[in-house]
Amino acid sequence: MVAMPIDGCLRRLSRALEDDELNVFYQPQVDSSGLLQGLEALVRWHHPEDGLLVPDQFLPCAESSDVISEIGDWVLRTACAQLGPWQSAGYRPLRLGVNLASRHLSQPDLVSQVEQALAAGGLSAGWLDLELPETLTRRAIEKIFGSLHELAALGVGLSIDDFGTGQLSLSDIRRIPLDNLKVDRSLVCNVAGDPNSAALAGATIAMAHETGLNVVAEGVENADQHAILLGNDCDGMQGYLFGRPAPAYEIEDLLSGEKYLSGEPDRSLVQAAGV
């Protein structure tokens, strides 16, 4: 895909959508007590010749055109259609995180796309978190301000993804009706070995809390990082320590265990990771 000219790549991606070659994987997210609280939807492409492709191998091409919005809408509809029935089947209700690209966010019919996906999946708006890219510019935020407020009024949660990698400050993003800050893996990966990184992560969490935001750390890979983040009152965590992105049938196996149906607090993800 990488070597293909942009037009060819876009045509190929549109065909992949029509031919059902895209798939949604889900990565677990846990709360501070280790309880599974949500899943993030992450797109994959089962390319007939090249095998399983991750977003970095095809989304950059899609982002140059409205194909990114078609993919985003498809992921949103597919993930809502997955989560709604899981909830109705009696599995523990989980939040659903869906990533939206800047271009998709500026679509005039974004709010109705979201409403339709929720209605078709039978999922209440309160279970959906839309993850906004940290690469959004201040100007882009102004353009989508109305849609974001409409989505928040519906009860949809809004998160800033990969916080700490871009140019946005906490004061910029406080103008958005935001619920969560997802702290980027680059900030998390050194917290255990480098006191400055730990201090920076701690200060980010404290500032976010001061402004009423929930904090989720991304890319938590080991028990030391987990302990330091917990010590800094991090609200939620996601990373290979708790589970890699997995296809729906694997997540369903996880959810269909009795412990999940009982609705009892469950620490199995953290325990399985030896924390």
**Taking CB within 5 to 8 Å according to partner kind, which of ligand C2E, Mg ion, none is near residue 213?**
none
Tell me the closest approach of the beta carbon of residue 43 to Mg ion, in angstroms. Answer: 11
Among 36, 100, 114, 215, binds ligand C2E (CB under 6 A): 100
Is 134 among the residues that bind ligand C2E (CB under 6 A)? Answer: no
Among 240, 264, 265, 271, binds ligand C2E (CB under 6 A): 240
Nearer to ligand C2E, 92 or 182 (CB): 182
Q: Cα separation of 207 and 218, whole Å?
A: 17
Nearer to ligand C2E, 218 or 266 (CB): 218
Q: Which residues contact 119 (CB under 8 A, 6 or more apart)?
A: none
Q: Write out the binding residues for ligand C2E, residues 186-225 only, by CB under 6 A.
A: 218-221
Nearest C-alpha neighbor of 86 from the set 76, 73, 96, 99: 96
Among 38, 180, 239, 260, binds ligand C2E (CB under 6 A): 239
- The full DSSP string for 122-135 is T--GGGEEEEEPTT
- b or e along 55-68 (b: 16 or more beta carbons within 10 Å of the residue's beta carbon)? eeebbebbbebebb
Residue 263: which region, alpha, beta or left (left: phi > 0; alpha: psi -120 to 50)?
left
Tell me the closest approach of the beta carbon of residue 265 to Mg ion, in angstroms. Answer: 26
DSSP 8-state secondary structure symbol assigned to residue 267: -
Tell me the closest approach of the beta carbon of residue 8 to Mg ion, in angstroms. Answer: 28
Chain residues that interact with Mg ion, rule: CB under 5 A: 99, 131, 161-162, 218
Is 70 among the residues that bind ligand C2E (CB under 6 A)? Answer: no
Q: Cα separation of 230 and 143, whole Å?
A: 36
Nearer to ligand C2E, 180 or 238 (CB): 238
Phi/psi of residue 96, nearest 5 degrees: -120, 120
Tell me the closest approach of the beta carbon of residue 247 to ligand C2E, in angstroms. Answer: 12
Residue 43 CA: distances (Å) to CA of 74, 85, 164, 169: 10, 20, 23, 28
Which spans of this chain sit near ligand C2E (rule: CB under 6 A)?
27, 42-43, 54-56, 59, 72, 75, 99-101, 131, 161-162, 185, 218-221, 238-240, 245
